[in-house]
């Protein structure tokens, strides 16, 4: 018994002694570190004792200290240059085999965040080891590994392809929105349409279970949509609701990011813009450092009032010298967006940019050049330097998108003669370009041909060869295209003479070849494209109409605007015309309050052009509350969209007053129209002057015709004449209220805007004579567009007999003599 007792006692002593020994004193020292130098002290004193756990903990701690600081206060370069950081790096590389899966990825993530270069042997070995283990990674580690690959610009690598495949296989098992959104962004370059839809569906499901105060989750979802250039409105609207709830917690940086993502997606939300504007305005006084102020300036300046803009520009002037290279670029682009004329600020920003030119990448130099050029900034020396840098980047570039961008920006700058190296580089990549890139290059070539003085009378063969290659590549790309969605994506921003002359016919043939691929997901995009190119295609539009009627419940209510646009603008009635308009009106009517105000005005106007005036829609727009909200929104919109919306509201107001008097909507645009007419004194074309002279001869005197007559509700008629009941011209007692100068400029008498008309004798009639140029007709036919017909309807309601003179009739071979023109006018007026 005594022996057994001694044995147990001895064992307990050993166990107690062993427990003391297994206390990890190095880890305990690391756990109490409060700064980087403390970590390095511990590492330096315990080099021989450092295990893989110690190295992992120390590296993660170094990144944690940095992460907690504002970006401008981080000291990553100092950490990397410290001797003990090298110790940690060497130990990590030597102990990779000992790391478990979590530790391996955490170590890679932390080292990358501490700005270790992707080509460093440690990073390469960590990535290689992760590749070997990738199929067994839990989704949290896989997500973090995908982020690391993105940081190294490996988003198109086979390794990322394997991650994409794993995501596709395990997607139903992902229940953490943070993990999912990190993966969505990482694999966005490689997702198929099927995986895209599955990811969006899963994201939408998880968004309902996410803490609504966590705005980073929806922000990453919107970033994914931006990356894949796909507008999924239901998901965007749900994310937007979360952003709106979190406005009080959002800082200038996050607001700037969200607004930038929305702008890239061309997604407007009035409520968010107004709330963001208010919050950013409140942040002005506290945004006094270069980082936060730059974010504030970029987000707020484009939608601020003139007074706030001036205040922002004054602050930017004070902080300009403290801006880094990226901040100066951001401010320059914001100044271009608001078309600033603050020369002192432009000079300051240009100075900061000039001393940091060596830091910029090719895309950034292109953005700088474009911003300064569009600002009409005068600094020949700086532009010459930028041009030389752009050419050097171009000579070494192998990416089609980069060559296209650099070519486009180079074509903006004046140059006496184009370098052969530029043409050869463009020629080298042009066969890899998509339709949008080919179109961009065609613009550049056209500018070079116009500007090259040495070949003014004889286009040089280098340009001819390049244009021939562009034409061939464009036709080949269209002829080999087999997916409508991809084709529409390439055609989204294509326009201009080269496309219309060389590729438009082939494009329409290709679209008709793919007519069976038209479905509810792409009808609105195809419809908008047809409207934009002003091309009437009955087969395609009939298919759009039938798909829309059949699947209207699947189409987002806001997409009904783009879907209906070609039918109203191009004045085309498909066989199912009544069903089409009824289905779309029923689809959007329950959601009127969810529309952005400006979009609702544009929708109502397009319906008015087609002679549709849904009462619920009209009453919603002409309510006091709606007009007040519209006014607030217009203050935040770009100038061009602001002016277009105001004009469409006036035209809608006029249409409702004339065609739907039973709605009792008042005409409240009198002053607006007067201002518009005074500002918009245009010129009279030679054809209009010719018609004016001949009308005088046909009617028996120039006093029997008036030119540029302003009607009630402010239509401007090219020519007006009066005929008595026997169809004999009546002369005007008052002289014409405008004069035409030698250069064709119209000079108004302001009294002409009062819409006062003399009384007609019994049985007499007013005749409005309008010359219709090409803008009133579809590009590919003589089919008259909807706005010309609406104008005719309205003038007839105002008591006119309307005579329309199409340009193709007036300029035809049949009317090539004075007598023929006069006979034509007689038949039109005295029929």
Classify residue 774: in a domain, yes or no: yes
Nearest to 170 by CA among 151, 146, 189: 146
- How far is Cα 386 from Cα 357, in angstroms, rounded to an integer? 8
3-class SS shares of the chain: helix, strand, coil, % to 5? 70, 5, 25
- Tell me what pLDDT residue 781 has: 94
Q: 72 pLDDT band (50/70/90 cuts)?
A: confident
Q: Which of 136, 159, 177 is the last residue of a domain?
A: 136
145 vs 166: CA distance, rounded Å: 13
The answer on pLDDT for 233 being more than 60 is yes
Residue 327 has pLDDT above 50, yes or no: yes
pLDDT score, position 416: 66
Scan for tokens 């967006």, then name that residue.
337
Q: 387: Cβ–Cβ under 8 A, 6 or more apart, which residues?
A: 369, 410, 413, 415
Give kind and range of the element (H or E) at residue 387: helix 380-396
Is residue 607 a part of any domain in this protein? no
Confidence tier at 455 by pLDDT (50, 70, 90): low
Q: How far apart are CA 222 and CA 265, in angstroms?
A: 9
- Short-list 584, 742, 714, 594, CA closest to 244: 594
- Cα separation, 394 vs 425, in Å, equals 7
Q: Which of 78, 109, 136 is the last residue of a domain?
A: 136
What are the phi and psi torsion angles at 748 (to 5°)? Answer: -85, 145
Axis crossing angle, helix 252-265 with helix 290-300, rounded to the nearest 10: 40
**Share of residues in the chain with pLDDT > 90 (%):** 81
In a domain, 14, yes or no: no
For the stretch 71-94, what's the b/e string if a residue is b when 16 or more beta carbons lie within 10 angstroms of its beta carbon? eeebeeeebbebebbebbbebbbe
Residue 387's pLDDT band (cuts 50, 70, 90)? very high
Of 136, 169, 200, which one is at a domain's C-terminal end? 136
pLDDT in tens, 658-701: 999 999 999 999 999 999 888 876 678 889 999 999 999 999 99
**Is 712 within a domain?**
yes
Which runs of consecutive H residues, i.e. helices, occur in 637-685? 639-659, 670-679
Its domain, for residue 804, covers: 681-830
- Alpha-helical regions (H) of 670-716: 670-679, 686-699
164 part of a folded domain: no
pLDDT digits (tens, 9 = 90+) for 116-175: 999 999 999 999 999 999 999 999 999 999 999 999 999 999 999 999 999 999 999 999
pLDDT, tens digit (0-9, with 9 covering 90-100), for 295-313: 999 999 999 999 999 999 9
User: What is the per-residue pLDDT across 410-444, written as a single tens digit (0 to 9) for each?
Assistant: 999 987 677 888 888 999 999 999 999 999 999 99
In a domain, 499, yes or no: no
Indicate the pLDDT class of residue 6, thresholds 50, 70 and 90: very low
Q: Is residue 128 part of a domain?
A: yes
CA atoms within 13 A on the CB side of 470: 26
Domain total in the chain: 2
pTM value > 0.95:
no
If you search the block for the tokens 């050029």, which residue do you land on?
373
């Amino acid at each position: 018994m005594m022996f057994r007792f001694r044995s147990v006692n001895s064992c307990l002593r050993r166990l107690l002694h062993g427990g003391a020994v297994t206390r990890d004193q190095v880890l305990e020292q690391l756990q109490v570190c409060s700064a980087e130098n403390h970590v390095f002290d511990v590492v330096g004193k315990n080099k021989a004792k450092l295990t893989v756990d110690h190295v992992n903990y120390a590296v993660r701690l170094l990144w944690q200290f940095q992460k907690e600081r504002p970006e401008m206060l981080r000291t990553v370069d100092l950490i990397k240059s410290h001797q003990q950081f090298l110790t940690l790096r060497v130990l990590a590389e030597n102990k990779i085999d000992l790391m478990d899966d979590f530790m391996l990825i955490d170590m890679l993530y932390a080292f990358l965040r501490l700005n270790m270069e992707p080509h460093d042997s440690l990073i390469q070995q960590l990535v290689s080891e992760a590749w070997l283990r990738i199929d067994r990674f839990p989704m949290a580690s896989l997500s973090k590994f995908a982020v690391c690959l993105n940081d190294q610009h490996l988003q198109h690598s086979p390794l990322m392809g394997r991650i994409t495949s794993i995501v596709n296989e395990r997607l139903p098992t992902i229940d953490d929105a943070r993990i999912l959104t990190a993966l969505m962004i990482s694999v966005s370059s490689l997702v198929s349409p099927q995986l895209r839809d599955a990811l969006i569906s899963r994201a939408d499901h998880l968004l309902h279970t996410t803490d609504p105060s966590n705005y980073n989750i929806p922000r990453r979802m919107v970033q994914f949509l931006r990356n894949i250039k796909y507008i999924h409105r239901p998901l965007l609207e749900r994310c937007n609701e979360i952003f709106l709830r979190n406005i009080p917690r959002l800082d200038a940086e996050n607001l700037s990011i969200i607004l930038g993502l929305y702008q890239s997606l061309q997604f407007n939300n009035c409520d968010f813009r107004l709330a963001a504007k208010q919050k950013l305005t409140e942040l002005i006084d506290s945004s006094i450092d270069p980082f936060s102020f730059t974010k504030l300036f970029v987000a707020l300046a484009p939608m601020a009032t003139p007074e706030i803009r001036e205040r922002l520009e004054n602050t930017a002037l004070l902080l300009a010298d403290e801006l880094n290279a990226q901040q100066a670029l951001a401010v320059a682009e914001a100044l271009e967006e608001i078309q600033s004329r603050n020369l002192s600020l432009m000079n300051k920003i240009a100075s900061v940019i000039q001393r940091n030119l060596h830091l910029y990448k090719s895309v950034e130099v292109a953005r700088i050049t474009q911003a300064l050029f569009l600002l009409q900034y005068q600094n020949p020396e700086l532009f010459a330097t930028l041009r030389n840098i752009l050419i050097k980047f171009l000579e070494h570039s192998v990416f089609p998108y980069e060559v296209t961008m650099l070519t486009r920006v180079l074509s903006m700058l004046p140059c006496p003669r184009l370098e052969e190296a530029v043409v050869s580089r463009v020629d080298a990549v042009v066969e890899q370009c998509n339709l949008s890139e080919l179109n961009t290059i065609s613009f550049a070539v056209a500018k070079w041909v116009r500007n090259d003085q040495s070949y003014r009378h004889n286009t040089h063969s280098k340009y001819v060869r390049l244009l021939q290659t562009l034409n061939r590549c464009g036709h080949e790309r269209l002829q080999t295209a087999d997916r409508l969605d991809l084709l529409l994506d390439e055609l989204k921003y294509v326009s201009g003479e080269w496309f219309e002359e060389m590729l438009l016919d082939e494009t329409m043939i290709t679209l008709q070849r793919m007519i069976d691929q038209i479905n509810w997901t792409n009808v609105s995009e195809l419809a908008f494209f047809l409207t934009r190119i002003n091309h009437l295609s009955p087969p395609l539009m009939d298919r759009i109409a039938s798909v829309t009627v059949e699947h209207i419940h699947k189409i987002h209510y806001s997409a009904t605007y783009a879907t209906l646009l070609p039918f109203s603008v191009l004045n085309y009635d498909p066989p199912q015309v009544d069903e089409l308009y009824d289905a779309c009106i029923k689809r959007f009517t329950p959601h009127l309050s969810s529309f952005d105000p400006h979009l609702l005005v544009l929708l109502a106007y397009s319906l008015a052009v087609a002679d549709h005036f849904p009462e619920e829609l009209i009453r919603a727009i002409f309510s006091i509350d709606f007009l007040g909200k519209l006014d607030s929104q217009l203050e935040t919109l770009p100038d061009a969209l602001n002016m277009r919306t105001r004009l469409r509201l006036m035209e809608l107001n006029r249409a409702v007053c004339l065609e739907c008097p039973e709605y009792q909507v008042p005409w409240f645009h009198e002053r607006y129209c007067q201002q518009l007419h005074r500002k918009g004194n245009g010129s009279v074309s030679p054809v209009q002057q010719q018609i004016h002279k001949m009308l005088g001869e046909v009617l028996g005197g120039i006093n029997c015709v008036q030119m540029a007559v302003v009607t009630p509700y402010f239509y401007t008629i090219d020519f007006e004449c009066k005929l008595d009941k026997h169809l004999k011209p009546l002369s005007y007692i008052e002289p014409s209220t405008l004069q035409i100068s030698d250069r064709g400029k119209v000079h108004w008498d302001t009294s002409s805007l009062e819409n006062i008309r003399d009384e007609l004798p019994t049985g007499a009639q007013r005749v409005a004579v309008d010359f219709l140029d090409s803008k009133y007709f579809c590009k590919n036919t003589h089919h008259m567009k909807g706005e010309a017909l609406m104008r005719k309807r309205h003038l007839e309601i105002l008591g006119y007999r309307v005579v329309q003179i199409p340009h193709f009739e007036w300029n035809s071979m049949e009317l090539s003599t004075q007598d023929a023109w006069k006979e034509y006018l007689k038949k039109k007026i005295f029929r």
